[in-house]
């Protein structure tokens, strides 16, 4: 196996229009990504996914409420900024990235978005990006698409699956443990294919957590691990943390080694170079832990191992932002963080496929994709001359309510028919153990 099933092989779910208005085929990508999970999880007898539910899940940040309030999703330091010779896109949602951005541009503590705008207006695109990235911040030039590069990316699998490391014997699924998801009677008999599978979640932001949230929904025991010194925005974790336990742990600790020794799957979402320095590269993990399924998500391709990134930055540099421009000049964006969400569902589908294959063939496995590879796929799909008209959807039909740590929570409901989420848990409060 070197890739996921083709769209023809997932034909049990004929495509339906997902209302994510854009020039690019965002809705088609979303539909295919969700259908891949259902196919690879072996629950093709379930009802077809609801296209409105998919659209709402891809825009989950718009539905999210905590104690009736919608959190501020974007930092004032995240956005498109005009320079003297073009546009740049910055990302400062994490405080350490915002600090680095300001440091690179010599902005003082307490600087505002207006200060950032004024500074960038007098600089060039190249100078701005170089200064910000040199200081450890995140910025890219808003670029036009590169059809030749995208075609080269599309010549490789959308999600690559291969054996690595030491040979390992077949590994039957572990005895059933308590499930993190809840199932309706219609799907209970055929669903939860990952019961007994232990997953270490070393991801943050959206794409990786969507993957592991889906694995938890399918029955896996998911333990999310974060470094103690980099807090996660509360809303972001609660929006993607359903059914997982969550702990804070140094990746070089003996406890991490013990967890890896008993894990079936580890999902990696940090920069490849940083993982290698911690001894957590796929090659290192494959050698030490035969039989492990190693899932690696990066923003950019693996030939840029030191480079960090997010969906919005990939949209800007890949040409998507200019394609989605309303006037051909000011950059635009997809109607959702669609690269993130699609990557999450596609990786979850690959895990389901490999878990089944490992039962019969054994082996140590490496599953990988990047947001940039997802972008290339989207750029190769049919386009519209203009976005379709926005259609109103009743959000109450596509949400779940929870009480978490004394707070009333409203989140998007799952896209898999017949499933409902177990509640997310407070970030970092669980013990680092299975």
Per residue in 237-290, pLDDT (tens digit) is 999 999 999 999 999 999 999 999 999 999 999 999 999 999 999 999 999 999
Return the closest-CA partner of residue 427 out of 201, 144, 174, 106.
Answer: 201
pLDDT at site 185: 38
Number of Cβ within 10 Å of residue 282's Cβ equals: 25
pLDDT score, position 4: 56
pLDDT for position 321: 98
Unique residue bearing structure tokens 């541009």: 105
DSSP strands (E only) in 169-272: 182-183, 198-202, 221-226, 245-248, 265-268
Residues (pLDDT < 70) of the chain are 1-15, 44-46, 166, 169, 173-191
**What fold characterizes domain 7-70+157-420?**
Rossmann fold (3.40.50)
- State CA 422 to chain mean position distance: 19
Q: Report pLDDT for 290.
A: 95
At residue 182, φ and ψ (nearest 5 deg) are -115, 140
Q: Where are the domains of the chain?
A: 7-70+157-420, 79-141
Output the pLDDT for position 2. Answer: 57
Q: What's the confidence (pLDDT) of residue 326?
A: 94
In tens, the pLDDT along 47-73 reads 789 999 999 999 999 999 999 999 998
**Secondary structure of 328-387 as H, E, C letters:** CCCCCCCCCCHHHHHHHHHHHHHHHHHHHHHHHHCCCEEEEEEHHHHHHHHHCCCCCCCC
Strands across the sheet containing 139-141:
79-83, 86-90, 139-141
């Amino acid at each position: 196996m070197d890739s996921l099933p083709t769209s023809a092989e997932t034909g049990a779910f004929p495509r339906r229009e997902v209302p994510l208005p854009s020039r690019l085929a965002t809705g088609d990508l979303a539909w295919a990504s969700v259908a891949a999970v259902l196919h690879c999880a072996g629950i093709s007898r379930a009802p077809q996914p609801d296209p409105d539910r998919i659209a709402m899940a891809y825009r989950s940040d718009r539905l999210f409420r905590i104690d009736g309030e919608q959190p501020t999703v974007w930092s004032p330091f995240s956005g498109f900024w005009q320079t003297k010779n073009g546009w740049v896109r910055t990302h400062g949602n994490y405080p350490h990235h915002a600090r680095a951005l300001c440091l690179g541009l010599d902005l003082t503590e307490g600087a505002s978005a207006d200060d950032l705008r004024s500074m960038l207006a007098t600089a060039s695109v190249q100078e701005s990006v170089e200064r910000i990235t040199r200081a450890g911040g995140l910025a890219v030039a808003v670029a036009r698409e590169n059809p030749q590069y995208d075609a080269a990316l599309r010549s490789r699998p959308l999600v690559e699956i291969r054996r690595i490391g030491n040979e390992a014997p077949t590994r039957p699924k572990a005895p059933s443990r308590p499930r993190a998801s809840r199932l309706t009677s219609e799907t209970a008999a055929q669903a939860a294919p990952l019961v007994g599978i232990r997953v270490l979640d070393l991801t943050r932001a959206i794409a990786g957590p969507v993957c592991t949230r889906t694995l938890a929904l399918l029955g896996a025991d998911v333990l999310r691990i974060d470094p103690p010194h980099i807090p996660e925005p509360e809303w972001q974790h609660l929006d993607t943390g359903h059914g997982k336990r969550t702990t804070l742990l140094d990746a070089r600790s003996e406890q991490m080694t013990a967890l890896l020794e008993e894990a079936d799957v580890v999902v990696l979402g940090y920069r490849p170079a940083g993982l290698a320095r911690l001894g957590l590269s796929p090659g290192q993990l494959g050698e030490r832990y035969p039989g492990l399924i190693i899932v690696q998500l990066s923003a950019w391709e693996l030939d840029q191992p030191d480079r960090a990134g997010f969906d919005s930055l990939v949209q800007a540099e890949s040409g998507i932002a200019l394609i989605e421009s309303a006037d051909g000049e000011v950059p635009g964006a997809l109607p959702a963080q669609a690269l993130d969400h699609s990557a999450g569902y596609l990786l979850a589908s690959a895990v389901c496929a490999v878990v089944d294959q490992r039962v019969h063939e054994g082996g140590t496995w490496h599953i990988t994709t990047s947001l940039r590879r997802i972008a290339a796929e989207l750029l190769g799909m049919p386009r519209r001359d203009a976005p379709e008209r926005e259609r109103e959807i009743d959000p109450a039909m596509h949400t779940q309510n929870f009480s978490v740590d004394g707070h009333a929570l409203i989140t998007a409901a799952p896209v898999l028919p017949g499933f409902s989420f177990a509640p997310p848990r407070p970030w970092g409060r669980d013990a680092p153990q299975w």
